[in-house]
Amino acid sequence: MSRLLAASVTLPTSTIPIFRTVASLREWRRKAYLEQKSVGFVATMGALHDGHISLLKHSLSRNDLTVLSIFVNPAQFAPTEDLSTYPRTLEADLALLEQTKVPEPSTESERITSAIFMPTVQDMYPSGITQDVSGQKGTFIEVKGYGHQMEGGSRPGFFRGVATVVTKLFNAVEPTDTYFGQKDIQQGLLLRRMCRDLLLSHPEPGHLHIMPTVRSPVDGLALSSRNAYLSPNDRKHASSLYATLNVCKDAWRDLRDKNLAIEKALAYLKERSSAAEADGVLIKPDYIHMNDPDTFDDVQTYEEGKAVILSGAMWVGKTRLIDNIILGNAEGILG
Ligand code: PAF
């Protein structure tokens, strides 16, 4: 059977209501409107980890109700990418959601996720969907000028797939506020711009929150569903990316020259790669970029305090990892 969940598939049981169709979710949402409840929203592709749970807790503590979606979006995977093997851990996800609670303000009770939205591919893509962009038909959202840098430089078409599915999810959920993780910083900033450009009211652009990356307390590795691909030996070396970005950050501060800073960082990563090789782990950098958070243009010159997104991607064995650090003043980006 296809790994894309069909509507007829029997789901593990959950005490939290699961909505499989846009129509049924809309009915639930209408009731929330009538009761004048705020609705927070966390979009996920499942394989939940503490990063997702942190976003969920932000939503639970700031909204009357919270919807979390689980939908592995075919449109954001290139034909060569990992759609078929993307981790799917529904039973564990539902158990984690049932356990995640925050105190209900000024009462003795607790808040828990109000609804899980798990639409089918057919419901989300009524005109059908192929991963090959040249064969696609129907309506797609492109945030022109903001999807080809940084992560978009390595994954052409990725942000078109993300913007399209998130627009659909926003239309279905109509969230008051929504929460995305800093690990995917370009995604969060691009979606905020999309809300502004499309004059969305649910959410308004200022209600799309980008929350700080959750990291391993041991070595700083950014939590990600794709970390599940790492072998124990890969895992030992996976924090090299974050360490490399930190070397770049310090060199940018000290040398104030982007090319020299990136050169220094790549030299450091080369040393880490040699150590990894001794463990049979192949580390390959994809990119290190420094970009303006508003325009996404490459940053060339150092300006004291000015916000810069320092982002990177690398392969650890067969797993591709991404990470970023915001240099300078992150006000207006996070929170
Ligand atoms: O960040 C993700 O998990 C995905 O890109 C998202 C936002 C759920 C869209 O599919």
Q: What is the pLDDT of residues 75-120, one digit of tens each?
A: 999 999 999 999 999 999 999 999 999 999 889 999 999 999 999 9
152 and 74 belong to one structural domain: yes
Question: What number is the average pLDDT over the span 33-58?
Answer: 98
Domain membership of residue 219 (yes or no) is no
pLDDT above 80 for 13: yes
Residue 289 belongs to domain spanning: 225-327
Q: Which two tokens stand for residue 102?
A: 């925050």
165 and 54 in one domain? yes
Give the CATH number, domain containing residue 187: 3.40.50.620
Q: Is the dihedral of CA 145, 263, 241, 330 positive or negative?
A: negative
> pLDDT digits over 155-190, tens only?
999 999 999 999 999 999 999 999 999 999 999 999
* 13 occurs within a structural domain: no
- Where residue 292 sits, what CATH number does that domain have? 3.30.1300.10
**Does pLDDT of 238 surpass 80?**
yes
Tell me, yes or no, whether 216 lies in a domain: no
For ligand 1, is residue 43 a contact (CB within 6 Å)? yes
Measure CA of the first residue to CA of the last residue in the chain; give whole Å. Answer: 41
Domain end (from 157, 187, 211): 211
Could you tell which of 82, 187, 211, 226 is best to mutate to test the pocket of ligand 1, judged by most ligand atoms within 8 Å of the CB?
187
256 and 177 assigned to the same domain? no
129 and 154 both lie in a single domain: yes
Is 90 exceeded by the pLDDT of residue 11? Answer: no
Q: What tens digit of pLDDT does each residue of 279-330 get?
A: 999 999 999 999 999 999 999 999 999 999 999 999 999 999 999 999 999 9
| C-alpha pair distances (Å), 262 with each of 93, 237, 274, 277, 288 | 38, 20, 18, 22, 7
- Of 52, 58, 207, 237, the active-site residue reads 52
Share of the chain above pLDDT 70, in %: 97
- What integer pLDDT is reported at residue 8 of this predicted model? 65
Which residue's CA is minimally distant from atom 3 of ligand 1?
44
State which H helix or E strand residue 209 sits in.
Answer: strand 208-211
Please tell me the total count of domains within the chain: 2
45 ligand 1 Cβ < 6 A: yes
Specify if 335 maps to a domain: no
Whose Cα sits closest to atom 2 in ligand 1? 44
133 and 182 housed in the same domain? yes
Mean pLDDT of the chain: 96
Last residue of a domain, one of 211, 240, 255: 211
Start-end of H helices in 198-257: 232-237, 240-255
Distance (Å) from CA 45 to ligand 1 centroid: 6
Residues 6 or more apart in contact with residue 141 via CB below 8 angstroms: 160, 163, 164, 167, 194, 198
C-alpha distances (whole Å) from 101 to each of 98, 133, 162 are 8, 40, 28
Indicate whether 157 and 28 sit together in one domain: yes
Q: What is the pTM of this model?
A: 0.96
Last-in-domain residue among 211, 238, 266: 211
Confidence of residue 1 (pLDDT cuts 50, 70, 90): very low
